[in-house]
Amino acid sequence: MSLGKRLKVARLNKGLTQEEAAKHLGITFQALSNYERDVRDPDTKLLKSMAELYGVSADALLQIKPDPIETIAAHHDGEEWTEEELEEIERFKEFVRMKRQQRDKE
């Protein structure tokens, strides 16, 4: 799945229209449409804003695979976790959700 399609899926999963998302991001809905149709790629600052707005990680949007060691750590129950570790686990969960959505659409 392309970056544009992942952006669209993330926006739709958040329940936002292009107009609503564009307003939050400070861009036109036409610009957002260009990103979602893979006509253009967003710059890193905008990609970060999109990830934050959609509640996903930039890694998930870019399909960056996590380090396998991090994946293993997410499976240990009963341990105490730092706030940073819990945030990392949440990002991984979102990555897995995005992969599942990609697999279901193909």
Task: Quickly count: other Cβ atoms within 10 Å of residue 87's Cβ.
Answer: 12
Name the pTM for this structure: 0.61
Buried b (16+ CB within 10 A) or exposed e, 64-74: eebeeeeeebb
- Which tens digits make up the pLDDT trace of 35-89? 999 999 999 999 999 999 999 989 889 988 755 544 444 454 556 767 787 778 8
Supply the pLDDT for residue 1. 82
Tell me: pLDDT of 14 over 70: yes
In what helix (H) or strand (E) does residue 73 lie, and over which residues does it extend? Answer: helix 68-73
Supply the pLDDT for residue 82. 79
Q: How confident is the model at residue 98 (pLDDT cuts 50, 70, 90)?
A: confident
Supply the pLDDT for residue 72. 44
Indicate which CATH number applies to the domain containing 85.
1.10.260.40
Tell me: pLDDT of 5 over 60: yes
Give me the half-sphere count of Cα atoms (radius 13 Å) on the Cβ side of residue 39. Answer: 8
Please count the structural domains in the chain. Answer: 1
Better-predicted residue by pLDDT, 12 or 94:
12
| Average of per-residue pLDDT across 20-48 | 96
Domain that holds residue 23: 3-105
What's the Cα-to-Cα distance from 72 to each of 53, 58, 75, 90, 92, rounded to whole Å?
28, 21, 6, 14, 11
